[in-house]
Structure 1
């Protein structure tokens, strides 16, 4: 059985939005914090072999950028990975190797998770991450936390999502103060009522 590992670049106040859509004023906010050492830490966290589990918006954005990103470890890993995509338009998937998850996204994810193969990495794809957490399909959450407060923008966790518990595994700090925090999914949030 494969592990599902969520990777999110996130501000201290929970914003994951990076692109200048929906009149978001802070596009590119992660760029000043990027360093070769930080990139190396992220590549190590991804691991040597992986596949991708992506929402359609992230897939479309990445399919424009990564095939043209040149010969480097990050681009080579992402381009070689099989991309499993949550989409209603599977016939328009061109950046491969690729497969769609079918009409029932949750069933499709469960099916892929049960197969033999490398870990499934989820990057961005905020709608998909909430579904994965709600369904208990996540094994790890890796938060790449930047020392910024953005105030507004798309959040990591939907207001409609169910609360859950994570257990701390490890942390790594980059030269610019970005933290790579790894958590193991535990289950629904426990309360003392």
Structure 2
């Protein structure tokens, strides 16, 4: 069975929209907000999180954005790996998938993901895809979440965490700070949310 690993650039207030440029995901006023903070430590963390061999699990919008960018990048190891990876895409328009190797997840996205995950193969990496990441978390399909937390507040934009997600806990596996102020926090699912009250002494 494969692992599903989510990697996200995220602001302190939870926004993930257009991290690499203003026109990357709609005309987002603050697009490109990660660029001033991208240093060697961040790039090394991203490379390590992918591993040497991986496949991609993507929402349709992220797939379209990436298909217009990564095939044009030459002499770059990450670009080579992304272009070579099999892309599993959540889409209602499978006939228009041109950046391969590629497969659509079918009409039932959750069952499609379960089927891909159950097979032998490299880990599945998820970037962007805010709708898809919510589904993965809601269905308990994500095995790891790497959040690259940038020291910025954006106020508005697409957010990583859906309001519809069931409450749950994540265990912090590791954390590292880059000199640029970016925190690289790796989490794994840790079960249902626990609550308590300081109004009562612990048993």
User: TM-score scaled by structure 2?
Assistant: 0.90
Give the paired residue count: 193
Query: C-alpha deviations, 1:26-76, integer Å up to 9, x for none?
Result: 011111111233212210121111110000000000000000011212111
Alignment-derived partner of residue 30 in structure 1: 34
* Correspondent of 2:119 among 103, 108, 115: 115
Question: What is the distance in 1 between the residues matched to 2:94 and 2:159?
Answer: 27
Structure 1 or 2, whichever has the larger Rg, is: 2
Question: What is the distance in 2 between the residues matched to 1:37 and 1:159?
Answer: 32
Q: Does 1:165 align with 2:172?
A: no
Query: C-alpha deviations, 1:68-127, integer Å up to 9, x for none?
Result: 011212111111111000000111111111100000000000000000011101100000
Question: What is the distance in 1 between the residues matched to 2:191 and 2:164?
Answer: 17
Alignment-derived partner of residue 84 in structure 1: 88
Match of 1:136, SS?
coil
Query: C-alpha deviations, 1:152-186, integer Å up to 9, x for none?
Result: 11111111221221001001222311111100112
Question: What is the distance in 1 between the residues matched to 2:56 and 2:64?
Answer: 13
Q: Does 1:125 align with 2:129?
A: yes
The answer to whether the 8 Å contact 1:142/1:180 transfers is yes
Q: Bigger CA drift: 89-98 or 17-26?
A: 17-26
Match of 1:171, SS?
strand
Q: What runs of 5+ residues in structure 1 fail to find an aligned partner?
A: none
Alignment-derived partner of residue 200 in structure 2: none
The answer to whether the 8 Å contact 1:133/1:164 transfers is no
Q: What runs of 5+ residues in structure 2 fail to find an aligned partner?
A: 198-203
Alignment-derived partner of residue 191 in structure 2: 187
Q: Does 1:54 align with 2:58?
A: yes
The answer to whether the 8 Å contact 1:166/1:183 transfers is yes
User: How do 1:2-17 residues align onto structure 2 when only pairs under 5 Å count?
Assistant: 2-17=2-17
Query: C-alpha deviations, 1:122-158, integer Å up to 9, x for none?
Result: 1000000000101010100000100111111111111
1:23 to partner: Cα distance: 5.0
User: TM-score scaled by structure 1?
Assistant: 0.95
Q: Bigger CA drift: 178-187 or 14-23?
A: 14-23
The answer to whether the 8 Å contact 1:43/1:73 transfers is no
